[in-house]
């Protein structure tokens, strides 16, 4: 999240891609696995049914 400065803008995603491009394959795979796990946890039903706040 620090690389993204808390927001997934085009610019921050580009910074993330550049940062990952300098990493080893195992580091990139590890990042992808942690990212997938985080998305899976967020996609669970108990989170999907929480009320939205605006």
pLDDT at 53 over 70: no
Model confidence over 31-43: pLDDT tens digits? 999 989 888 887 7
Model confidence over 2-17: pLDDT tens digits? 667 677 888 888 988 9
pLDDT at 51 over 70: no
- Asked if residues 42 and 35 have their Cβ atoms less than 8 Å apart, the reply is no
pLDDT at 50 over 80: no
pLDDT at 33: 93
pLDDT at 20: 92
| Rounded CA separation 12/17 (Å) | 9
């Amino acid at each position: 999240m620090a690389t993204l400065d808390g927001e997934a803008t085009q610019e921050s995603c580009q910074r993330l891609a550049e940062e990952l491009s300098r990493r080893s394959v195992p580091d990139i795979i590890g990042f992808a696995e942690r990212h997938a796990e985080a998305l899976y946890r967020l996609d669970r039903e108990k989170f999907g049914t929480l009320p939205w706040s605006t």
